[in-house]
Chain A
Amino acid sequence: MAGSDTHRIGARESAAAHDYEAAPAPTAQSNWTVWELEAAVTVTEPGLLDAAEKLVRQVLAAVDHACSRFRADSELVALQPRMASGVRVSPMFRLLLERALDAARLTGGAVDPTLGADLAALGHGPEMSAELSSPPDTAGRPGVRSVPVLPLPSPPDLVPPLAPRAPGWSRIHVDGDVLTVPAGLRLDLGASAKAVAADLAAAEVHRRLGCGVLVSLGGDLASAGPGPRGEQPEGRPGQWQILVQDVPADPAQHISLAPGFALATSSTQKRRWLHQGRQVHHILDPRFGLPAEPVWRSVTVAAPTCLEANAFSTGAIVRGFQALEWFRAEGISARFVDSRGRVATTGGWPAESYLPAESSRPPESFSREGLHHG
């Protein structure tokens, strides 16, 4: 697992760097690169920053060793060819797999960890860089999100078949530490594995060090322990201050995240590439194995765990417009940004209240239920 360019900042420096008003909260943050994503850990006790970063790196290394597709010695690479006949998996691998199946259940199958072959058929894989149509800083690479797969014939067109196919996730069998995956299915634990890594890392830092912590992996955030001190009156526990914004041109919102909760954003604007002359993105509709219609630019969800937040945000991209009704019925706190930059909210997500000076406003407003300026 690659990790580099650690950068440490305190709260005041962080505020200055982002041109925000400085605040007295005694936090410290360290940033580095992993899986070609930005990783960050913020702690409420600056003196514990080094120890916290070490713990986070250890968790990420363990996750990487279990399911990375970029290293020949990862468990996934070693076991994938034999999964049809049943393989014994490590506790970490089993955890990541079971959480991926949790994500599938939570979303009614809108998130499916068996789409590795479909992603490869669309050209999403280790060799996709030559086809990338987006700048490197926004296209990124799959990192933990994909697994190695054999090349498959590309679909003749990106038109969904008439009938949805049988869901792959419900055919995975786990019996103790023995995993069986039907032939023809290839695991891709990426989306959930990153979120689980954030959850595990935050929990481990708080458990071992006792401080409040916020872990960010490529924009997915998990927190544990108390929030930052010094920003709330009357001794109330502080909340993590988060800027929600997918790309610079999108509407931004500054929100407070309660300690112990998590936040995840799924986007159709990143990890895009050309396939057979068409722009495609990496979030697939499991029913067809094709990119979900990009009804939403991005969906951000708050939930008790990053796994849940990530599952719901990804599931919302897949379900498109219907996700609004789904989230309202479930009471899921979420923020949707549509294809024109307009914002819809569900489940108690607050109205826009603060916009950094450099952020852009959406082109127009909505007056209907749950839709407003970003």
Chain B
Amino acid sequence: MSTRSRGKRLATGITAAVGVGSFAVAGVAASAVYAATPSVIARTTAGTDSSTQDGGAQGSTPKSGSGRSDDDGYGTRQNSGTQNGGSRRSKSYGNYGSTSPVQPGKGGTIHGRSSGS
């Protein structure tokens, strides 16, 4: 799917969200920027998703293959490792074999708190 089509689909999904709630109000402006320069980092592995329903604000999300081109304005440089020591990108995210990084809390002792700083 072309980046333009993906951007249009994203914008469509966000438009639908406006009808449901104001969640997308702020997102419309942000997504407009990205719709103009859409693309996603090249995937290295299949992902997982906790979602159980479809038709959300993002529309149906791709499950494989999307790739980020170099026109995203962030200066994506996928193969810059020769200069700076190489990317450490070798792991998958969300699927760690039998290990799930995050599960529901068990209650009891709290060992730490994650918050912004």
Contacts and interface: CB of A to CB of B under 8 A. Distances in A.
Interface of A: 11-12, 14-15, 18, 20-23, 25, 27, 29, 37, 40, 42, 98, 101-102, 104-110, 112, 140, 160, 164, 166-170, 172-175, 194, 214, 216-221, 228, 231, 239-247, 253-258, 260-261, 263-271, 286-287, 293-295, 298, 300, 302-304, 308, 312, 319-322, 324-326, 328-333, 338-340, 342, 345-351, 353-354, 364, 366-371
B110 to A, nearest CB: 5
A7 to B, nearest CB: 14
B117 A220 contact: yes
Interface in B102-117: 102-117
A93 B58 CA distance: 40
Given A167-B75, A258-B100, A320-B27, 20 more contacts: A21-B107, A23-B107, A29-B111, A105-B89, A214-B111, A219-B115, A221-B114, A255-B105, A263-B114, A286-B74, A302-B101, A328-B47, A330-B43, A338-B26, A342-B23, A348-B50, A349-B50, A350-B102, A366-B21, A369-B58
Contacts of A242: 105, 110-114
B69 to A, nearest CB: 10
Contacts of B62: 325, 329
A364 B20 CA distance: 12
B8 to A, nearest CB: 13
Contact of A256 (B40, B72, B80, B104): B104
Interface of B: 10, 14, 17, 20-24, 26-31, 33-34, 37-41, 43, 45-58, 61-63, 66, 68, 72-78, 80, 83-85, 87-89, 91-96, 99-117
Nearest to B81: A105
A350 B104 contact: yes
Contacts, number: 335
B94 A216 contact: no
B30 A295 contact: yes
Contacts of B91: 304, 308
A182 to B, nearest CB: 13
A241 B105 contact: yes
A369 B23 contact: no
Contacts of B116: 219, 246, 265-270, 298
B111 A219 contact: no
Given A241-B111, A242-B114, A348 B94 contact: yes
Q: Kindly list the 5 A-B residue pairs having the minimum CB-CB distance in the complex, ordered from nearest.
A: A331-B47, A267-B116, A167-B75, A109-B74, A331-B94
Contacts of B20: 366, 368
